[in-house]
Amino acid sequence: MNLALYREFRPKNFDEVIGQDFIVKTLKNQIKTNRLTHAYLFCGPRGTGKTSCAKIFAKAVNCTHSSDGNPCGMCAECVALSEPNTDIIEIDAASNNRVEEIRDLREKVNFPPLIGKYKVYIIDEVHMLTDSAFNALLKTLEEPPEYVIFILATTEIHKLPATILSRCTRFDFKLVPTQLLSEHLKNIFDKRNISYDEKSLYLIAKAGEGSVRDMLSIADSVASYCDYKIDYQSAEKVIGLSDRESIKNILLSISKRDINEIFKAIKNALGMGKNIQILCKEMADFIKNLIMIKSGVTDYAILDIMPGEFKQYADIANLFNIQYLKSAFSKFAEIELDLKYSLNPENLFESACLEMLDYNDIEKNVSKPDTTYKNATANNVDTKSTTNKNIENFEKVEIPNELKDKNFSVQNSTQNSNMNKIWGNVLRKVKENNLFALSNALTTVNKVEEIAHKLIVHTNDSSSYEMIDNKERIDVILKLVKLFDDSIEAVEIEYDKENASTQDIKDNLKDVFKSKIKFKE
Ligand SMILES: [Zn+2]
């Protein structure tokens, strides 16, 4: 269960913002003296209050009864702006980074605010904008209408063009000291009747590493695990400072290429209440240690392990070659940030673990993957890189035997028999591109049909449905389908609830991956 402390305790006015006193004071003064500028830049690490401050600021400039620079929360403007509205516009540049979107913004800028005095644009992760989008934005920043305020927020200031920087009033948000975090947490726990001891409080605050959001997400996990009565031992367990056993188990199962064990090991780790972000960080740290051991480091202090643990680490290090470990390390370091934004962090972590099966040359225990497998690893799904010749070859490919099982009912339908063949090729492509997680999910598909240039993919497995039903994955499938049938314009996944049954995923996986993965019988 998630208590969502972060959402509940998001600051509603400047006085509730933690650890950014200088910024808060300056912003309040600007509001009180009505000396506002048209463009602000909030930069600094994640979870330090940039977006919260931007939202409070957006309300405060419109509030008609503001006191000491804070929005009152009661006046008509404050109330209207707390609901979805057209005057405070939040744009996540990570997903709306194209020039078209900024042009759209530029057009809408011309409509004056409906509720209060100002229309406020909050552009989050602004460094993600493309060059042309930056140029388009710049034109608006140069001559904004009187009633428009821009607040640009970013964690990566160095990626912003100087032309943008020079037009903004800049505020640098700082990491929040552990002491302040711990006081804040104490307040929240008291309000929520969650019991704790001082030591646990400090431990959780420290694990937040300066970010209010991260700390509260960790506090969520700890409180849920301890059923609202936090003790140090459990907190330590969830935060994982002393528990490296679960990481070892995950890596061991990966070295054996045993999918059952991989899922079991991840489930065990998370079942202990461990926060997934911490698990990922530990995974990266653990792998970093293995790389150092492989490189000849033997100093316990540098490795940050106990003397007695060295042999255990060395044994695991011996299972992998260094190149393999380096790829794995980058992968987990890379998804650490994504996990924080992901709606389904567990899936992301699982697929990263499964992806480790793609890397070649686990040193022991495993027969070397064949060459076609190796070549496939180098290719990503990209229709452009697939030559026509390749497509011809694929069209000649028969439906793989493993797909001709009884669950795959498409074969009975004559009108869709061509679709059946195409689907077989699509599955083959998915496998060749080593999209393991997707491939797993697609093994539960029991029917595909074409209706008016739309490919409907049916599954009776709810978790596969959830896994596939996301724009990115649907796009991948569409791309692949188009390789074989250009007339298909859309792909849709449908969950056949009435036929829902628990499929023997293990059998399906065995069919799909054949020799690549060993199962315990
Ligand atoms: Zn107000």
pLDDT of residue 411: 37
Question: What span, in angstroms and rounded, lies between the C-alpha atoms of 235 and 176?
Answer: 21
Question: What span, in angstroms and rounded, lies between the C-alpha atoms of 112 and 40?
Answer: 19
**Which conformational region is residue 491 in: left (phi greater than 0), alpha (psi within -120 to 50 degrees), or beta?**
beta
Task: Indicate if the pLDDT at residue 206 is higher than 50.
Answer: yes
Distance 61 CA to ligand 1 centre (A): 9
pLDDT of residue 170: 95
Q: Which CATH architecture has domain 178-239?
A: Orthogonal Bundle (1.10)
Task: Indicate if the pLDDT at residue 172 is higher than 90.
Answer: yes
What one-letter code names the amino acid at 51? T
What is the β-pairing status of strands 39-43 and 148-154? parallel
Full 3-state SS string of 15-27:
HHCCCCHHHHHHH
Distance 20 CA to ligand 1 centre (A): 22
Q: pLDDT: is 402 or 27 the higher one?
A: 27
Could you tell me the two tokens for 347?
């899936």
Question: What span, in angstroms and rounded, lies between the C-alpha atoms of 81 and 91?
Answer: 16
Q: Is the pTM of this model over 0.85?
A: no
Contact status, residue 225 vs residue 234, Cβ threshold 8 Å: yes
What one-letter code names the amino acid at 477? I
Residue indicated by tokens 């493309």: 130
- The CATH H-level superfamily of 20-172 is P-loop containing nucleotide triphosphate hydrolases (3.40.50.300)
Which pLDDT band holds residue 65 (cuts at 50, 70, 90)?
A: very high
Contact status, residue 98 vs residue 130, Cβ threshold 8 Å: yes
Q: How many distinct helices (H) and strands (E) make up the chain?
A: 25, 8
Q: pLDDT: is 509 or 453 the higher one?
A: 453
Distance 266 CA to ligand 1 centre (A): 48
In 3D, which of 220, 210, 177 has the Cα closest to residue 7? 220
Beta-ladder partners of 121: 89, 150
CATH placement of domain 245-355: 1.20.272.10
Distance 352 CA to ligand 1 centre (A): 46
Distance 82 CA to ligand 1 centre (A): 10
Q: What angle do CA 286, 288, 293 make, to 5 degrees?
A: 95
Q: Cβ–Cβ contacts within 10 Å for residue 288, how many?
A: 17
Put the strands of the sheet holding 88-92 in their side by side order: 88-92, 119-124, 148-154, 39-43, 169-172
Could you tell me the two tokens for 299?
């100093």
By three-state DSSP, how is residue 267 classified? helix
- Among 126-140, 251-265, 498-512, the range scoring the smallest mean pLDDT is 498-512
Residues 390, 395, 397, 403, Cα dihedral to 10°: 120
Distance 79 CA to ligand 1 centre (A): 7
Could you tell me the two tokens for 333?
């370091």
Question: What is the maximum alpha-carbon separation in the chain?
Answer: 76
Distance 145 CA to ligand 1 centre (A): 23
Q: What are phi and psi of 247, to 5 degrees?
A: -65, -45
Q: pLDDT: is 22 or 443 the higher one?
A: 22
Contact status, residue 49 vs residue 173, Cβ threshold 8 Å: yes
- The string of pLDDT tens digits covering residues 314-358 is 888 988 888 888 888 888 888 887 887 777 888 889 888 888 877
Distance 14 CA to ligand 1 centre (A): 13
pLDDT of residue 97: 72
- CA 462 to chain CA centroid, Å, is 21
Distance 71 CA to ligand 1 centre (A): 5
In eight-state DSSP terms, residue 362 is B
Q: Is the dihedral of CA 485, 491, 493, 494 positive or negative?
A: negative
270 CB-near residues (< 8 Å, 6+ apart): 276, 279, 346
Task: Indicate if the pLDDT at residue 256 is higher than 90.
Answer: no
In 3D, which of 185, 252, 255 has the Cα closest to residue 222? 185
End-to-end alpha carbon distance in the chain = 34
Task: For the chain, give the mean pLDDT.
Answer: 79
Distance 75 CA to ligand 1 centre (A): 4
485 CB-near residues (< 8 Å, 6+ apart): 418, 419, 422
Q: Where in the chain is the domain with CATH 1.20.272.10?
A: 245-355
- The string of pLDDT tens digits covering residues 363-374 is 443 333 333 333
Distance 49 CA to ligand 1 centre (A): 21
Distance 60 CA to ligand 1 centre (A): 7
pLDDT of residue 483: 84
Could you tell me the two tokens for 37?
């500028």
20, 421, 458 from 45: Cα distances, Å: 12, 50, 43
Task: Indicate if the pLDDT at residue 481 is higher than 70.
Answer: yes
Question: What span, in angstroms and rounded, lies between the C-alpha atoms of 439 and 268?
Answer: 24
Which pLDDT band holds residue 434 (cuts at 50, 70, 90)?
A: low
- The string of pLDDT tens digits covering residues 81-135 is 999 999 999 988 877 777 778 888 888 888 999 999 999 999 999 998 888 888 8
Q: Where in the chain is the domain with CATH 3.40.50.300?
A: 20-172
Full 3-state SS string of 419-436:
HHHHHHHHHHHHHHCCCH
Distance 62 CA to ligand 1 centre (A): 7
Q: Cβ–Cβ contacts within 10 Å for residue 31, how many?
A: 21
Distance 56 CA to ligand 1 centre (A): 11
Task: Indicate if the pLDDT at residue 499 is higher than 60.
Answer: no
